[in-house]
Copies of this chain bind each other. A is one copy, B any other.
Amino acid sequence: MVTIKDIAREAGVSPSTVSRVLSGKAKISPETTRRVMEAIEKLGYIPNASAKSLVMKKAYSVGIFMPRKLEQALTSTFFDQVVSGICSYINNTEYEIVLSIVPPEKEKESLERLIKSKKVDGFILLTSRINDYAIKYLRNLKFPFVLIGSPDKDKDYVNWVDNDNKKAAFDATEYLIRLGHIQIGFLGGMENLVLTQDRLSGYKSALSKYKIPVENQYIMFTEFDEQSSYEKAKQMLMLPDRPTAVVCIDEVVAYALIRACRELDLKVGYDVSVIGFNESIFSKLSSPRLTTINTNVFYLGYYAAEMLIKELEEPYKTYKRLIVQHSIVEGETCRAI
């Protein structure tokens, strides 16, 4: 292994001079700098991260934290996209990414370990729940983090990046209303997710704007997986007075509904209009193409990473938030009636 001492010897200087050249924070003569750089190049020297971390009291790593059951079927391509966005930004920094996906019961232990062992300098949280444990824990410790999603409360005291989910659901619902739908259903995810609540709220306010009464029987929640999505979808379609259009919180939920339609001999886009969220590669490829809200998941990740790194480099005086735009992508699953 080649250490800073080897470089020092090779360049005929002291280790601290090598350190100074590397950090660039001190005045070093051009000649010395050249000799040091040559030695580094020649020996292929890269500083030992642990040693640096130990003295700098910094890990130069950020954690991606996602509490969820591992064995559970996965919900869409959200994870792929958001992680890609995060990597895309982090790759241009000196930080590494530590990935932690743990079942909810290990959440506390896992966070504590990463923080106290100083493995990471900050976190990107991939989910926001009502009364979120991770958020509370990190806020309490004043440990740096950025939330992807909106906090359920204290919105001004957390750094976060999110879509305007209320607006997005409002837009989706209004889109259906303008197509003439009045009986509109809402298929959400877990009720304890802020995402579900926000989109539900947008859905309701669109109905309200057009003086359409909210029917509780038209509102259902799923576990974001295939099984429960399909069951709830079927349940909704078998209501005596079933909705003519449904806002689905996720593409998995949307496809479950489409599947249920097919089982019940209902024609998607005719008997039932469907709109989803989080455009993925499947939305474009499915037949019929799914009408969906593109939430630019990649950029949720990208900007969250940027926000976290900037916070680490120079702590904000105040908390930041960022809204990533969404847009409707018209497919073939919605029709005027």
Contacts and interface: CB of A to CB of B under 8 A. Distances in A.
A77 to B, nearest CB: 6
A217 interface: no
A226 B70 contact: no
Contact of A74 (B80, B101, B112): B80
Given A106-B91, A118-B49, A255 B285 contact: yes
Contacts of A47: 117
Residue from A44, A45, A73 whose CB has the most chain B CB atoms within 10 Å: A73
Nearest to A289: B259
Contacts of A53: 50
Interface string A248-270: 00001001101100100000000
Interface stretch (A30-38, A82-90, A148-156): A82-90
A64 interface: yes
CB-based closest 10 A-B pairs: A46-B116, A50-B53, A255-B285, A49-B117, A50-B54, A87-B101, A50-B50, A74-B80, A70-B88, A99-B99
Given A48-B118, A91-B102, 6 more contacts: A49-B59, A70-B87, A71-B84, A91-B106, A252-B281, A287-B287
A96 B100 contact: yes
A131 interface: no
Determine the interface band of chain A, counting residues with CB < 8 A from chain B: 35 or more
B100 A98 contact: no
Given A77-B77, A97-B100, A286-B255, A71 B49 contact: no
Given A49-B117, A91-B102, A281 B44 contact: no
Contacts of A178: none
Given A113-B46, A262-B287, A97 B96 contact: no
A81 B101 CA distance: 12
Contacts of A225: 281
A101 B82 CA distance: 12
